[in-house]
Structure 1
């Protein structure tokens, strides 16, 4: 694996190494429209708005989510990288004893 590819993947894995971020990505990917308003994401958690924003920013900076502002709301959608990585990680087979 080339050094830059390894660095990019490590950054993405680090961003996903948090249960809240995994759930956020899951919510976005499961949404029928393929994008979710920040208000719906915030409502799914018992966390303060700034905390959810922190997690969303980490996912955006890792290239796993993209955002569009429409009026006062921001809508999030998974990037191709976010979709691929989440799908791969969520299908990892269980370890055998």
Structure 2
């Protein structure tokens, strides 16, 4: 785990918002018509619509978050779904408590 990558990934308000929304997708996104659940995370389209940014910007943001191991992508058909990597969150929180 790279604490600097995580800090950089979360240093943008929209990325921080996305990460927060993914914590409780039922509260922040409409149900997936195709899947009927959020087991694999949230479709990029839903994230884009909520953030009101372009698809390319959201994809870039999610890529940064993926590189920092904050999110886990799952591809189903033509759609990619993202969910939080709670293991990374726990390790990050522990590291912050130990180092700061």
TM norm. shorter chain > 0.5: yes
**Secondary structure of residue in 2 paired with 1:66:** strand
Answering whether residue 43 of structure 2 is matched by residue 37 of structure 1, we say: yes
Answering whether residue 32 of structure 2 is matched by residue 26 of structure 1, we say: no
Which residue of structure 1 lines up, in the alignment, with residue 60 of structure 2? 54
* Residue 48 (structure 1) shift: 1.0
List gaps (5 residues or longer) in structure 2.
Answer: 27-37, 94-100
Which residue of 46, 69, 79 corresponds with 1:73?
Answer: 79
* Residue 85 (structure 1) shift: 7.0
Aligned Cα root-mean-square deviation (Å):
1.9
Which residue of structure 2 lines up, in the alignment, with residue 93 of structure 1? none
List gaps (5 residues or longer) in structure 1.
Answer: 89-97
Deviations 1:14-43 (A, max 9, x none): 111110110111111111435111111011
Q: Point out the more displaced range, 31-40 or 71-80.
A: 31-40
**Secondary structure of residue in 2 paired with 1:63:** coil
- Structure 1 residues 23 and 85, CA, compared in 2 at 3 Å: closer, same or farther? farther
State the TM-score, normalizing by the size of structure 2: 0.71
Which residue of 63, 71, 80 corresponds with 2:69?
Answer: 63
